[in-house]
Structure 1
Amino acid sequence: MASGVATVWMPVEDMSRALKFYGETLGLKVKSEGDDWSELDANGVSIGLNGREETHGEHTGGAVLTLQPDGTLYDELVRLTDAGVTFVGEVSEHPWGRIAAFKDSEGNDLQLFEPPSE
């Protein structure tokens, strides 16, 4: 039985670019840096940037990293847009919450998630 998520690995082509995106743009704390492996903290979940794995190129599908902003989804959407992030489509509304999809600097799929207000 799995008891939680230990680390999420994201393939990257350009470690410097990826570290800037995850550290500066998203605001995650960089725990370690290396040419082939760097690690960030996302509120207790480690995100590993893996330069040793091949990136997916132009293919779609696969894993999606979903992030929950500190404030509202819309405030974070504005902040990231001002930082140069392009969102894919509109914010989608669901009974279980709101989702705003975007890509990281390496083409990996990311989302902002906000649970429904009670």
Structure 2
Amino acid sequence: MSVISKVKFVSIPVSDQDRALEFWTEKVGLRVATDQPMGAQRWIELSIPGAETGLVLFTPEGHEDRIGSFFNGSLACDDVEHAYRKLSEKGVEFEGPPQKQPWGAFAKFKDPDGNTFVLSSR
């Protein structure tokens, strides 16, 4: 038996937490789980409806060079075409339309800081 039970959250480096919070809640549809001061900084943890893993909008001091990079992971949805249409209607910038592969479909989108995310079918 493993002593680790799940991935609690993954962090997204951002330059403007308010702008990132608006993007992830208003456009993508995530929910705020925690938004509170953490010393001189702010800790924002978002929940993904139906998922155990959350996203944190936080850039540790000294990691500012990671803002605008590629998110080393994949976000999942049931229907990439549907998600692409809905998110595009809300102003989410995609690199192109969904692409089909033997394992499923995927599309890449960017947040306001230029971080790139893969959205793929389960």
* Smaller-chain TM-score bracket: 0.7 to 0.9
Establish whether residue 22 from structure 1 lines up as the match of residue 28 from structure 2: no
Matches within 5 A, 1:64-83: 64-69=72-77, 71-83=78-90
Q: Secondary structure at the match of 1:21?
A: helix
Instruction: Measure the CA separation in 2 of the matches of 1:32 and 1:57.
Output: 21
Match of 1:47 in 2: 55
Match of 2:111 in 1: 104
Instruction: Provide TM-score, normalisation by structure 1.
Output: 0.80
Q: Deviations over 1:64-108 (max 9, x none)?
A: 342223x52111111111111121123222111111001112211
Q: Percent identity?
A: 31
How many residue pairs get aligned? The number is 112
1:105 corresponds to which letter in structure 2?
A: P
Contact 1:15 1:51 in 2 (8 A): no
- Computed over aligned residues only, the root mean square deviation of the Cα atoms, in angstroms, reads 2.1
Contact 1:11 1:49 in 2 (8 A): yes
Contact 2:106 2:118 in 1 (8 A): yes
Q: Which aligned segments of 4 or more residues in structure 1 are displaced greater than 4 angstroms?
A: none
Q: Which runs of 5+ in 1 are unaligned?
A: none
Q: Secondary structure at the match of 2:24?
A: helix
Contact 1:37 1:48 in 2 (8 A): yes
2:87 corresponds to which letter in structure 1?
A: L
Instruction: Provide TM-score, normalisation by structure 2.
Output: 0.77
Q: Deviations over 1:26-62 (max 9, x none)?
A: 101111124532000122112111043414356x54x
Q: Which runs of 5+ in 2 are unaligned?
A: none
